[in-house]
A and B are shown apart, each in its own frame.
Chain A
């Protein structure tokens, strides 16, 4: 059991790092895509589709195994940063779409009114559009955070001892208790994810939600 708790701590650590970096990157990408400059938005659209088109497992292997082969020294990543980077990139695509549709859901009149009072584009974004869009972003973000938490289970393949790997070790030591150990692992994930889903649902009833383009 303490073994599993160590794993849980690792899972929490990875997911928190990823939530932070993934959201940051996603917000930037999403905001850039609302600018409607074809030069920016097409490559970013391609970036999003390329990342979404393959399973996360592939990104993880590419970041962990392929980047070191480029021979650039700062790309020789340890397992932990590789996991966080791969998961953050993957997450950012979801966040970017949420941010974009939330910003686009704010009526045009708002930004036009802001611009007509003499605000710059940045000011109108920061003071008028974003405060309204943020409320729309919160509910779907809950879903993305749960995807991140569940995604951390996959990083066990590159040798990080998170919850699933800790469970595997435990089953090797006590093969008879396999059902108990994996059941307990599932319960720990549930205990971590369920409140997040609950919170997202609560936020949805409070703030309403945006429809995502599929």
Chain B
């Protein structure tokens, strides 16, 4: 049994379990906040992208292209290192806020493309029906179009959320403690990369499996991904 202890010392892992639990919790919180931001940004950008006002849709298109063609890491650096003190906040963003906002803005661009596909899949009759009962644009969107659109694209949105959770490991670069950071702690304190990163990998794999189940469930529950 010595070779197992040599390669993967589970006793050390057990000793560091609280760290991993803390990391897992903080990954969950970071992802949850970033998910909230990304869904709001995604919805707004998707609606802007479909607007007939050239100023609005050009801005939305430029945002999507800019996010999609640059790495998340550089976006995190730009937001965390280079943003000056914000007027409303009166100070600069700390690493947690910067990381969450960067993650949210990044995922928002991808979410917006998915949400747009959802909105565009809603048949014209639905909108005309809503118009004929006297709903204005905001009410139509709020009560008729968006609920159906989100139900249709729930599976790809969940897939993108899984990507978001994986991407959240990058905020450890600016010093936020999360799941990956827990692995780094073992590497730095004990020089044991296997124990640290294999455990972290298993945790991520667990999250990914749960997301995969959720996606399958959503696909069944909402009847396909909208075609």
- A residues sitting closer than 8 Å to B (CB atoms) are 49-50, 52-58, 61-62, 65-66, 69-70, 146, 149-154, 156-157, 164, 167, 171, 178-179, 182-183, 185-186, 189-190, 193-194, 197, 214
Contacts and interface: CB of A to CB of B under 8 A. Distances in A.
Nearest to B160: A214
Contacts, number: 115
B132 interface: no
Given A61-B183, A189-B74, A194-B69, A69 B193 contact: yes
A157 B173 CA distance: 9
Q: Which of B69, B169, B180, B204 has most A Cβ within 10 Å?
A: B69
6 contacts: A56-B166, A57-B180, A65-B193, A185-B74, A186-B75, A214-B156
A54 B82 contact: no
B170 A53 contact: no
A53 B155 contact: no
Interface string B7-20: 10000000000000
Contact of A53 (B68, B193, B209): B209
Interface residues of B, number: 41
A49 to B, nearest CB: 7
Nearest to A153: B71
Q: Which of B183, B204, B219 has most A Cβ within 10 Å?
A: B204
B65 A197 contact: yes
Q: Which of B75, B201, B205, B219 has most A Cβ within 10 Å?
A: B201
A156 B212 CA distance: 30
B72 interface: yes
Given A146-B69, A190-B66, A58 B204 contact: yes
B204 A53 contact: yes
Interface of B: 7, 65-66, 68-75, 77-78, 81-82, 155-156, 159, 166-167, 169-170, 173, 180, 183, 187, 193-194, 197-198, 200-201, 204-205, 207-209, 212, 215, 219, 225
Contact of A153 (B74, B159, B215): B74
Given A154-B73, A214-B215, A193 B204 contact: no
B193 A189 contact: no
Contact of B70 (A58, A66, A70, A190): A190
Contact of A55 (B66, B156, B169, B198): B169
A54 B204 contact: yes
Given A61-B183, A182-B77, A182-B82, A54 B208 contact: yes
Contacts of A55: 166-167, 169-170, 180, 204
